[in-house]
Amino acid sequence: MTELPNATRAPESDAQEDASVDESSPMGQHEHCVTDRPTPAGQGSTGEIIKLNDIDVYISKPADYPHTPSRLLLLLTGGTGIKSTNNQIQADMYASEGFLVLMPDMFGGETAPGGKEAYFADHSTSLLEQIKLKAVEVAKSFMIDMWLARVTEAKIMPILLKVIEAAHEQYPDPIKYGGGIYAAGYCVGGRYVLLLAKGSHDSGADKESGMVKKGPHIKAGALAHAASVTPDDFKDLQAPLSLVCVENDALFTDEVRKAGEDIMTRDNVEHEVQVYPGVPHAGFAVTGQYQESAIMDAQVTAYEQMLKWLKEH
């Protein structure tokens, strides 16, 4: 495990520099799953949304595809989903490196409820207004918890398996060229990289979908600031994995991470784990603008870590 040099925590408000983040608050624990950072100036997405097996999928292709061989990458998003410009730009970045990228709508169009207005506190407001904002914060936190409760393996895995099935039918050449499907996941999507790397699944998702449960479904994977991971998610892994982790992450705790490292080491799973201290929990590895250059540097480093791993496997 490698710990990167400390970075200064960035102000989390888009509106004003003195707005602070209470990461112990309900919204502070979940904000990274439900809101986007500002999109970097001058950037936009270049792919399109298509249907694969009746699933909406954002597809991004290398500029010279199919004339130059490409590998197929499954990109799994956080709660902002496939219509997020930042997520689309992230997919385009991998495409520019030679991957045919499929980014499926894991949530059936039901992205996470936003919480930016309550999460970013304005200290110039009155006490009464702050109390009102706090009430909204608690209500939105409840909505997010309810959304997370619906984001289950039994619901998500059949969607991913349908996309994988369609990919084998429609894009066999990139899969053959790469020797399998690659996967990169962020936040909620990070956990499903682990599940796709398993040799089997015990949730009943495959039984419900009528699909074969035998895995692994990916050749190699990389995940960043994954959410809702448990030690069991690391059992029976059969694909090499790279993990980008945030220090003191409430949704992927140090205890779970260390247990996962122990399990992967015990099972001889090729892996790397890098812990990024001093970066926010707000999906720092996904494309988005931060005021602090140290966090922007960490964002670049995290992408390079994941990209290098996928290219080398």
The domains of the chain, with CATH numbers, are 2-312 (3.40.50.1820)
Top-confidence residue, 115 or 241:
241
* pLDDT score, position 286: 85
pLDDT at 122 > cutoff 80: no
Residue 120 has pLDDT above 60, yes or no: no
Tell me the one-letter amino acid at 230. Answer: T
pLDDT of residue 114: 63
Check if the beta carbon of residue 195 is closer than 8 Å to that of residue 157. Answer: yes
pTM for the model stands at 0.80
DSSP tally for the chain: helices H, then strands E: 10, 9
**Gap between the Cα atoms of 13 and 37, Å rounded:** 10
Whether 20 shows a pLDDT value over 50: the answer reads no
Least confident of 63-72, 102-111, 157-166: 102-111
Q: Which one has a higher pLDDT value, 118 or 293? A: 293
3 state SS of 184? strand
pLDDT at 110 over 80: no
Q: Give the per-residue pLDDT at 140.
A: 55
Q: What is the β-pairing status of strands 99-104 and 55-60?
A: antiparallel
Q: What is the pLDDT of residues 158-185, one digit of tens each?
A: 999 999 999 999 999 999 999 999 999 9
**Under a CB-based contact definition with an 8 Å cutoff, are residues 144 and 111 in contact?**
no
- Which amino acid belongs to residue 171? Y
Greater confidence, 249 or 144?
A: 249
Nearest to 283 by CA among 74, 147, 90: 90
Helix (H) or strand (E) holding 103: strand 99-104
Please give the Cα distance from 91 to 76 (Å, whole number): 10
Q: State mean pLDDT over 94-105.
A: 97
Structural contact between residues 122 and 134, judged by C-beta atoms closer than 8 angstroms: no
Arithmetic mean of pLDDT, 148-158: 82
| Three-state SS sequence of 225-293 | CCCCCCHHHHCCECCCEEEEEECCCCCCCHHHHHHHHHHHHHCCCCEEEEEECCCCCCCCCCCCCCCCH
- Between 228 and 40, the higher pLDDT residue: 228
Bond from prior residue into 113 cis (ω within 30 degrees of 0): no
CB 151 within 8 A of CB 107: yes
Stretch among 45-54, 197-206, 253-262 having the lowest mean pLDDT = 197-206
**Average pLDDT of 77-101?**
94
Residue 58 has pLDDT above 50, yes or no: yes
**Cα separation of 27 and 118, whole Å?**
8
